[in-house]
Amino acid sequence: MYYVNQEQIDARLAFVPDLLKACAALESAWEAPESESELLLHLAQERTLHLAIETVTDVGSLLIDAFMMRDASSYEDIVEILAGEGVFGADVAAVLTELVKLRRSLTQEYNTLPRSGLHPMIAKLPGALSAFAEAVPAFIRKEML
C-alpha cells in the first residue's frame, strides 16, 4: 500500500487558482503598462513563474515518493518521470519542462535577467497548470484502486 501525503498535495494544488489569477492579471497589465510600474510587473511575473515551478516540483516530488517512482536527478527529471508514469501527457510535459528550466535563472541569476515585456510562459502557464491540477488527483485515484 502506498502512503500518499494527500494533505500536502491538496494544499499545493489549491494554490494553482491563485497562480492562474496572477497570470491573467499580468497579461492584462502588460497590455498597456505604465513605465513606472514596469519593474513591478517584471518582478511579479518572475515571482509567479517561480511559485509555479515550486508548486509543480513539490507536487511532483510528493508523487514520486508516494508511488516509489525512480529518484529524480533534476527539476526537469521530475517532469519527465511524471510524464513517463502517465500522470499527464506530452503536451503538458513540454510546457512544464520549459517552465522548470527557468528555475536557475529566476533563483540564482535574478540580478541579470533580461526584463522586457511579458514573459512568454505567462500565457502558456494557465493551460498547463490547469491540466496538471486535474491530472494529479486523477492519477492518484487510478493508482489507489
Domain ranges of the chain: 6-144
Q: Are 121 and 49 in contact (CB under 8 A)?
A: yes
Q: pLDDT tens digits, residue range 11-23? A: 999 999 999 999 9
Q: How many CB atoms lie within 10 A of CB 64?
A: 19
pLDDT in tens, 23-64: 999 999 988 767 778 889 999 999 999 999 999 999 999 999
Q: What is the mean pLDDT of the chain?
A: 94
What architecture is the 6-144 domain classified under in CATH? Up-down Bundle (1.20)
Q: Tens of pLDDT along 90-104?
A: 999 999 999 999 999
How far are the Cα atoms of 46, 57, 81, 121 from residue 61, in angstroms, in the given order? Answer: 22, 6, 10, 22
Query: Residue 113 has what pLDDT?
Result: 93
Are 4 and 144 within 8 A, CB to CB?
Answer: yes
